[in-house]
Chains A and B, each alone.
Chain A
Amino acid sequence: MAGFRLINLAKPFLPILPEVEVPYEKIPFDDKMVYTVFASLIYLFAQFPLAGLRKATGEDAAAHAPTVADPLYFFRGVFAMEPKTCLEFGLLPIFAAGLFLQLLAGLKVIKVNFKLAADRQLFQSLTKILAIAQYFVLANIFIASGYYGADLSLPQIVVLNIQLVGGGVFACLLTEVIDKGFGLGSGAMIINTFAVATNLVSDTLGVNQITVDSEGNTEPQGALINLIQGLRAQHKTLVGGIVSAFDRDYLPNLTTCVLVLALGCLVCYIQNIRFELPIRSTRARGTNQMYPVQLVYTGSLSVLFSYVVLFYIHIAAFALIQLVAKNDPASIVCKVLGHYETVNNIIAAPTFPLSMLTPPRSLVGGALSQPLSFVVYSFFILASGVWFAYNWQQVSGMSARDLARDFKEQSITLLGRREQSLPRELNKVIPVAATTGAMVLAAVTIVGELLGLKGKGAGIVVGVAGGFSLLELITMEFQESGGESSLANMLAGGLSL
């Protein structure tokens, strides 16, 4: 076992693992834009309802109706997961595999020599295999739990597997196309931002009608449209329509929309807080400048990490409760972990003690019925975010030492400091920025989630913060391309401020 390394596990899978080619030549900026937008749109298009499920109506509907509601409702908005579609698990496995493996490799738990191209490639393949494996395992946990309906036939299980894992594989490949340089920035993050923006628009301005009661009355998905339509709805009074626009809980309401927008604005503010280091060139005199270190040094990744860990705690609990204990409150597993209660026929809310790690569904209701979750959930998000940010800034290749090396290569140094003390001086700033930034971002997430946004709060934080990181990268790439882009000229008014 002397030579055993985890990355070698990827080797037997290589011949069947699809691998996107790297571009032969530099892709022009416009083409990158097109690839990015198309990949993201195809991802959104793939959020298509699963085939092979039993319909809600029909003679045997009651006997085979799904007995299990959605236990992941508060992750949906964070990882672009749509319930009962091919992308049931969204981008989560991709984020999970990427973050975990890179963190483990950085902390030297997994031995990878990143200097060797062969090692890097194996590591990358391992990440992809792990992501696809997660899609497979998660899909089968859900199938076995009865989420897609009780006693499915074998062909049904096979078809569901093909759709869920297939959706996962394509999600991986779409992110890969963007990552490899055909698109802009990071695939997983850009698709996630796209999905968050789409959710925001459809929750506010969505015009599609959804049947809300047994009489066949419909209400639009968008909260704002609902308010307008509520003013002249037949099945409600005028006041009732307005009140319902603000507090309906089966579809997005205006209160949540306003809160989400406020959170987004708050994240914009936080993203632009920076610590400025005065620098000077060691070559030329009199060229003093400021080097900005962002407060949110690890961007949205710290929140994503917290949510990935939270997801796996919940999935493990879900598997135990549903598969082992069959959600029977009398069972020993349920006594230890709690069980699920169906709310509104759609979501499965865990009971104490699992509820401690679940954001409350509303501020007041949560404060009365599960006050402990305010403490435990908040502490969890804060602690995991800060822990991640501290470690990530060290291993991601942008640590104080790496930055000091970059400074030296570009012959710049801190004003009024000796060049030798550069790493030490930077080390005073960067870890503090990373941990403080992660703490602030986690605090915003917590505030949003405790107000009862059911994942939309965390989603907008991830979306906006991720969007900022990507925007930075995109503007950089745009400048590198020399600004010769017809598409960008169109957008320049909006973006390059």
Chain B
Amino acid sequence: MSTAVPPGGQRTLQKRRQAKSNKDKQLNQTPTSARQAGAGGSSNSILKIYTDEANGLRVDPLVVLFLAVGFIFSVVALHVLTKVTGKIF
């Protein structure tokens, strides 16, 4: 036990406390959110969706940023294309 044992009658209190926290643990068998399970995520006033690394196509964050900029410029290029050809497909 890491904490110092308080003298005298406190022992029973501590036992009771432990029983209580055991009971709490049972109540918490199925947590209702990632945060309750101790894995981070949304809190009372923050919506946080992505906290775990799930399976999928792994990408680096920098790659995401560059791809996003690339995406925008491809839209720009599309604009230019429609203007140059003078018609829309």
Contacts and interface: CB of A to CB of B under 8 A. Distances in A.
- Tell me if chains A and B make direct contact, with any CB pair below 8 A: yes
Interface of A: 14-22, 35, 38-39, 42, 45-46, 48-54, 86, 94-95, 97-99, 102, 105-108, 113-115, 117, 120-125, 127-128, 153, 155-156, 159, 163, 166-167, 170, 173-177, 179-180, 182, 185-189, 294, 296-301, 304, 392-398, 401-402, 405, 408, 419-420, 434, 469-470, 473
A20 B45 contact: no
A153 B56 contact: no
Contacts of A16: 56-57
A299 B45 contact: yes
B61 A114 contact: no
Given A298-B45, A395-B32, A17 B57 contact: yes
Given A21-B61, A124-B54, A163-B78, 9 more contacts: A17-B56, A35-B65, A42-B69, A125-B54, A155-B89, A156-B89, A173-B64, A395-B32, A405-B24
Given A21-B61, A50-B75, A297-B44, A120 B82 contact: no
A106 B33 contact: yes
B11 interface: no
Nearest to A271: B45
Contacts, number: 227
B9 to A, nearest CB: 15
Contacts of B42: 98, 102, 186, 396-397
Nearest to B60: A21
Contact of B33 (A35, A187, A396, A473): A396
A42 B65 contact: yes
Contacts of A297: 44-45
Counting chain A CB atoms within 10 Å of each CB, the highest count among B31, B67, B69 belongs to B31
Contacts of A173: 59, 64, 67-68
A397 B36 contact: yes
Given A179-B51, A185-B46, A419-B17, A19 B59 contact: yes
B5 interface: no
Contact of A22 (B37, B47, B53, B78): B53
A21 B32 contact: no
Interface string B1-44: 00000000000000011001100100100111111110101111
A113 B47 CA distance: 19
Contacts of B60: 20-21
Contacts of A86: 71-72, 75
B56 A14 contact: yes
Complex A-B, nearest 9 residue pairs according to Cβ-Cβ distance, in ascending order: A299-B45, A397-B35, A19-B56, A397-B36, A121-B54, A51-B78, A114-B37, A155-B89, A398-B44
Contact of A18 (B51, B52, B53, B57): B57
Contact of A408 (B21, B34, B48, B55): B21
7 contacts: A49-B79, A121-B53, A176-B64, A186-B46, A186-B48, A297-B44, A396-B36
A96 B80 CA distance: 34
B64 A20 contact: yes
Counting chain A CB atoms within 10 Å of each CB, the highest count among B20, B75, B78 belongs to B75
A179 B46 CA distance: 11
B53 A397 contact: no
B89 A159 contact: yes
B54 A19 contact: yes
Interface in B69-89: 69, 71-72, 75-76, 78-79, 81-82, 88-89
Contacts of A159: 78, 89
A375 to B, nearest CB: 29
Given A21-B61, A114-B39, A52 B44 contact: no
A127 B67 CA distance: 22
B50 A180 contact: yes
A49 B80 CA distance: 12
Counting chain A CB atoms within 10 Å of each CB, the highest count among B46, B50, B64, B81 belongs to B50
B86 to A, nearest CB: 10
